[in-house]
Structure 1
Amino acid sequence: MNDNCGKASMEFRDQLEAAAALFVLLGRIFHGIPDRSLFAELVEQQVFEDIPYVAGNDAQNAQRRLLAWARSCDVGFSEKDYHDLRAEYTRLFVGTKRVLAPPWESVYFNKERMVFQHQTFEVRAMYAKHGLEVDLISREPDDHLAYELMFLGHLLARGVGFFEQGESGKMRETLVDAVSFTVCHPLSWVPQWRDTVHRHSSNDFYCGYAALVEVALRQVEDDLSSLLLP
């Protein structure tokens, strides 16, 4: 391997690692009722000042919304900051009579807005293929956005591991699953979900978050599809 090839290979590894870290973080952020300690860390460590992996105008627009939210928070992420964020999460994604922006894939493919449809079992089968299952304590369907994002992060991290071990066949197989999962599952409904969030909310955090999720999914689809073309 010459120096140029070696450099390109390391850039590829670093790109995969950055994508994996971003998707895991996006999943953690949206996993259940907002975790106050996690959001305090996002604000105090200025995480949104430098978002890894994504680039382009749409990514910058998402970042601007997230930075506007972070800079509006009090030093130390106050009780009011947390209350406001949690209230908006509940209003959008939990609801009382009707969930405004459902975070489950199945809902977007049936008029009755039902969960636990065939999409749920398709993603469950993909999780099982890679040795994972949803935490039953959470009582969320397998096709919840947080799980889909964390699973994609898991696949990308596995790809990094196989790359470092020189297992090119296993790496390719894992990344093929990653791009297939991205296209067939989150990207099949996240654009509609993002539009719904923007329609029902002016909250900088959740509007920026929804936009960033879509940008990241589109970028990983483009990157992996180009890489894996025969």
Structure 2
Amino acid sequence: MRTTSAAILAENAGRRGRTYWLLARGFAEAPSRAFFGELIASLGPVNTAEALGGETANLADAVQAALGEDVASDELAIEFTRLFGGISESYGSVPPFESVVRTGHWGGDCVLAVTSSYADADIVPPLPEASPVDHLAAELRFLAIACQREAEAWEEGNIRSAMDCVAREREFLDQHVLCWVPKYCQSTERVAATPFYKALLTLTPRACLLDREDIDAIQESVPAFSTDV
């Protein structure tokens, strides 16, 4: 397959990292008008013909609707707590923690494996307040930081470092994120009552799956430690 230029790879890695960071904010921050304003600015013009264009447009429409309603922020703050606060399954959903979704309880080998992944990458993702290391937002932020490091490596012409980042991203998606996030988002979307959180919970797993496909394409298009990119 024809190699892809380092400039394009850097741009793509930066875009992927920004997407992960943006999604993480939705699971980490109670909604506010300031947050929604920043979200709209980050989303920019949406092309529904592109991959995830429809899902992104739904999220943007929900944000615009919330900005136009005076009570929307309060209602969404309640919804945020109900869905992600781990109050009870009967009230909302299980908390967005990998170990809880995969094993039914927090902690154990799952948390140790996540912690080890962070340490091996020398990445300490910011955690939502009073939240554990396997919180969904923390795992998305880990990927965001890894993508940013990948982008910087491409910009510096350090192909080995960039491809190491790509391999790390792939491993974390395969061993962690894709093992629980699609299941969690699907079940939580069913109990979500607001268009914003329904859109967020629909977009997030699809973005992760698309990124996994992008990683395959990167590894196919860049010969091992080639000097021709």
User: TM-score when scaled to structure 2?
Assistant: 0.83
Aligned to 1:63: 56
The 3-state SS of whatever aligns with 2:88 is: coil
Equivalent residue of 1:185, what SS?
Answer: helix
Q: Tell me, in whole angstroms, the C-alpha distance in 2 between the residues paired with 1:114 and 1:228.
A: 36
Which of 147, 153, 172 is the matching residue for 1:156?
A: 147
- Residue in 1 aligned with 2:227? none
Corresponding residue of 1:10? 7
**Paired residue for 1:142, among 112, 115, 133?**
133
- State the number of aligned residues: 218
C-alpha distance 137-211 of structure 1, shift in aligned 2 (>3 A): closer
The corresponding residue for 1:223 is 214
- Take 2:161 and 2:67, find their aligned partners in 1: how far apart are those partners? 47
Alignment map for 1:82-121 (pairs within 5 Å):
82-98=73-89, 99-110=92-103, 113-121=104-112
Task: Judge which range, 60-69 or 205-214, deviates more.
Answer: 60-69
Residue identity in the other structure for 2:8: E
Quick check: 134-143 or 173-182, which moved more? 134-143
SS at 1:63 equivalent: helix
> Deviations 1:190-225 (Å, cap 9, x if unpaired)?
111121122112421111111211121111111112
- Using the TM superposition, give the Cα deviation of residue 185 of structure 1 relative to its aligned residue in structure 2, in angstroms: 0.8
The aligned counterpart of 2:178 is 187
Taking only the aligned residue pairs, the percentage that are identical comes to 23
The alpha-carbon distance between structure 1 residues 12 and 136, as it changes in their structure 2 partners (threshold 3 A), is: closer
Q: Which runs of 5+ in 1 are unaligned?
A: none
Deviations 1:77-122 (A, max 9, x none): 73x1210111111111114333514211111222xx2112322121
Determine if contact 1:102/1:193 at 8 Å carries over to the other structure.
no
Q: Cα gap change, 1:39/1:124 in structure 2, threshold over 3 Å: closer, same or farther? A: same
- Residue 48 to residue 84, structure 1, CA distance change in 2 (3 Å): farther
Partner in structure 2 of residue 122 of structure 1: 113
**CA 1:134–1:117 in 2, change beyond 3 Å: closer, same or farther?**
farther
1:123-166 deviation line (CA, Å, top 9, x unaligned): 11111122233557822111111001111010011011111111
Between the aligned partners of 2:32 and 2:26, the Cα distance in structure 1 is 8
CA distance in 2, matches of 1:103, 1:115: 11
Measure how far apart 1:74 and its partner are: 3.8
Given that 1:108 and 1:189 are in contact with CA atoms closer than 8 Å, whether structure 2 keeps it comes out as yes
Distance in structure 1 (CA, Å) of the matches to 2:129 and 2:28: 9
- Residue 49 of structure 1 contacts residue 67 of structure 1 at CA under 8 Å; is this kept in 2? no
Give the TM-score of the pair, scaled to structure 1.
0.83
Cα displacement (A) at 1:60 = 3.0
Q: Distance in 2 between matches of 1:8 and 1:211?
A: 32
C-alpha separation in 1, matches of 2:177 and 2:127:
21
CA separation of 1:121 and 1:55: change in aligned 2, threshold 3 A: farther
CA deviation profile, 1:153-190 (whole Å, cap 9, x unmatched): 10011011111111111111111001110111111111
Q: Cα gap change, 1:134/1:164 in structure 2, threshold over 3 Å: closer, same or farther?
A: closer
User: Unaligned 5+ residue runs, structure 2?
Assistant: 225-229
Matched-pair contact (CA < 8 Å) for 2:123–2:145: no
Distance of 2:45 and 2:127 partners within structure 1? 35
RMSD between aligned residues: 2.7
**How far apart, in 2, do the equivalents of 1:162 and 1:39 lie?**
32
SS of equivalent residue, structure 1 residue 73? helix
